[in-house]
């Protein structure tokens, strides 16, 4: 991985990160093509942020190799940092400065020439629709405006790869969708390679060219969203029951027409070839099991269903970064 593979901006081979006995990232391998919008999708604490930390050289891997922009993350840390942009999970703007001043400061840190910086600041402000708010103190920006400014800041020095770590975390649904449009536009207009971490299923589905599912530090599936969903085959029939019933799950699993079955408390999800024809069969089984069906839903497979197939559980929505929390606990014990 010395930069000679021109088709890829990122190459990862067996990358691992341990904090004491805790394995945060476990021998992951993948490649990201030039100009691709690549997603790392998984629950909080899955290892997404730790992976980004290693690829951006802020965390040292325990083992494995990776290159970003043709530079090894171990031997070429300075070159990697010069070739990337980062939008952190946590806010990192100076709210005592204006939007334009925040961008100017970033340009100076990356030694961007004065004239080039002026032109680039104007260009990125236009890209994220903040031209009219450029000279307003950031303390008066909304959450969505701050996120857009952080994206603009990450582009000031023309990075080869832009990392977006949970870019819409904490934003309302309407603002989140607005950020999606800016990310799409950025990828289309700038042809910048983007690596996005998220635990929002629809975010990955809408934005990403390819998605890697990561859970408990391992990549469990990787492909385009459509290929991942098509891999399940057929329809998903969801039965909402009046209470959980393991016997009904067992009876459904015994049927040849049930491609996969998973129970989630009082809900049962069944993958079948023809949902409309299968619903009466499921209702008949429920009646024989003396289980009351509260509601029935028929839909096409989603990325959530794919994640359940590979992990056996839905994506967890707990607050905070569990990986980071575990890291802090391990580090405190090691002191």
User: Helices (H), strands (E): how many in the chain?
Assistant: 12, 14
Return the CATH fold of 233-300.
Answer: Alpha-Beta Plaits (3.30.70)
The two structure tokens encoding residue 326: 């575990």
The residue among 215, 222, 221 whose CA lies nearest residue 51 is 215
Show the beta-strand stretches assigned E in 88-171: 161-165
DSSP H or E stretch at residue 182: helix 173-190
Helices (H), 47-135: 48-55, 77-83, 99-109, 114-127
The rounded distance, in Å, linking the Cα atoms of 45 and 313 is 14
The rounded distance, in Å, linking the Cα atoms of 133 and 145 is 9
The count of other CB atoms within 10 Å of the CB of residue 269 is: 21
pLDDT for the residue 333: 35
Answer yes or no: are the C-beta atoms of 41 and 16 closer than 8 Å.
Answer: no
pLDDT for the residue 316: 60
pLDDT for the residue 6: 66
Residue pLDDT, tens place only, 44-71: 889 999 999 999 999 999 999 999 999 9
pLDDT for the residue 268: 94
For the entire predicted model, the pTM comes to 0.80
The residue among 64, 139, 56 whose CA lies nearest residue 95 is 139
State whether residue 240 is helix, strand or coil: strand
pLDDT for the residue 318: 43
Q: Reading across the β-sheet that carries 161-165, which strands appear in turn?
A: 84-87, 161-165, 193-198, 37-41, 210-215, 218-223
The two structure tokens encoding residue 191: 């042809």
The count of other CB atoms within 10 Å of the CB of residue 259 is: 16
Domains of the chain, by residue range, sit at 8-228, 233-300
Task: pLDDT tens for the chain, 335 residues: list them.
Answer: 444 456 999 999 999 999 999 999 999 999 999 999 999 999 888 999 999 999 999 999 999 999 999 999 999 999 999 999 999 888 889 999 999 999 999 999 999 999 999 999 999 999 899 999 999 999 999 999 999 999 999 999 989 999 999 999 888 898 889 999 989 988 988 889 999 999 999 999 999 999 999 999 999 999 999 999 988 888 999 999 998 888 999 999 999 999 989 888 899 999 999 999 999 999 999 999 999 999 999 998 989 889 888 887 777 654 444 443 433 333 333 33
Could you tell me how many residues make up the chain?
335
The two structure tokens encoding residue 114: 């004065």
Answer yes or no: are the C-beta atoms of 283 and 248 closer than 8 Å.
Answer: no
* CATH tag, 8-228: 3.40.50.300
């Amino acid at each position: 991985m010395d930069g000679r593979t021109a088709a890829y901006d990122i190459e990862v081979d067996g990358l691992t990160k341990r904090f004491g006995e805790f394995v945060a990232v476990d021998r992951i391998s993948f490649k990201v093509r030039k100009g691709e919008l690549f997603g790392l999708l998984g629950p909080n604490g899955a290892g997404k942020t730790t992976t980004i930390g290693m690829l951006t050289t802020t965390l040292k891997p325990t083992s494995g190799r990776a290159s970003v922009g043709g530079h090894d993350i171990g031997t070429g840390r300075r070159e990697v940092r010069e070739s990337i942009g980062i939008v952190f999970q946590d806010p990192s703007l100076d709210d005592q400065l204006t939007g334009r001043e925040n961008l100017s400061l970033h340009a100076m840190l990356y030694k961007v020439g004065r004239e080039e910086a002026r032109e680039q600041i104007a260009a990125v402000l236009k890209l994220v629709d903040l031209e009219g708010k450029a000279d307003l103190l950031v303390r008066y920006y909304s959450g969505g405006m701050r996120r857009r400014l952080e994206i603009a800041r990450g582009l000031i020095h023309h990075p080869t790869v832009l990392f977006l770590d949970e870019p819409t975390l904490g934003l309302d649904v309407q603002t989140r969708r607005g950020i999606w449009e800016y990310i799409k536009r950025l990828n289309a207009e700038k042809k910048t390679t983007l690596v996005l971490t998220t635990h929002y299923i629809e975010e990955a589905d809408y934005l990403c060219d390819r998605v890697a599912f990561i859970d408990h530090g391992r990549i469990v599936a990787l492909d385009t969203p459509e290929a991942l969903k098509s891999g399940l085959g057929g329809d998903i029939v969801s039965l909402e029951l009046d209470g959980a019933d393991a016997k009904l799950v067992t009876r459904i699993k015994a049927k040849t027409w049930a491609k996969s079955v998973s129970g989630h408390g009082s809900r049962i999800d069944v993958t079948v070839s023809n949902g409309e024809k299968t619903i009466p069969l499921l209702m008949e089984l429920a009646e024989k099991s003396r289980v009351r069906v509260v509601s029935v839903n028929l839909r096409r497979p989603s990325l959530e269903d794919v994640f359940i197939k590979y992990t056996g559980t839905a994506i967890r929505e707990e607050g905070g970064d569990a990986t980071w929390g575990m890291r802090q606990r391990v580090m405190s014990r090691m002191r």
